[in-house]
Amino acid sequence: MNELAGLWIPIVVSALAVLGASCVVHVFLAQRLRNWKTLPEEDATVEHLQKSGTAPGFYVFPRRYSRASNGSEESYVHRMESGPWGSVNVRARQPSIGRALVQSLTFCLVTSVFVAYLGTLALSPGDDFSRVFQVIGTAGILAYAFGGIPNAIWLGMDFRSAVLDVVDGTLCGLITGAVFGMLWPN
């Protein structure tokens, strides 16, 4: 635990560097805008969601009804065969950039703590940049790059979004490895 406490500077610096790089990639390069589509009849869809009292949550459709509901097996099979199939995420409140930045920074800090912990198990004080970069960078890539793949598989995210998630995560992992490599204790 003492070794981990000695890594607080690379933990904080790597988290801030990853958050900064992520902001540059997503805000200034705007590579994700092509992935976001507008619903046809968006106004009517939003009005329907408001009128129906749709609570915040993650919805998938079609969804099999419980035996206690009115949905019949035949209507479910028909709905499954006819499509469309999808998901909708209804938020409880308007998105806040400030809240999202704080949550992202928290995620980056927690990730850096776990990556640093792994580094204390695999590395020694005084290890050279390339060895620290190799171990910490690999752990960072695993932490940042591949977590979204199951959602892409199961929730139908388009291939381009999934690839961009892996590319972004790899960049974040490499940044983490470089920061730790430069700040690794002697």
Note the pLDDT tens digit of each residue in 106-154. 999 999 999 999 999 999 999 999 999 999 999 999 999 998 899 888 8
CA distances from 170 to 96, 126, 136 (A): 26, 25, 12
C-alpha to C-alpha distance for 130 and 179, rounded to whole angstroms: 12
- Cα–Cα distance between 172 and 137 in angstroms, integer? 9
pTM: 0.83
Please write the tens of the pLDDT for every residue from 1-50. 578 889 999 999 999 999 999 988 887 777 777 777 888 899 999 999 99
pLDDT at residue number 145 = 96
User: In the beta sheet, which residues pair with residue 60?
Assistant: 87
Write the pLDDT tens digit of every residue in 46-72: 999 999 999 999 888 887 765 555 567
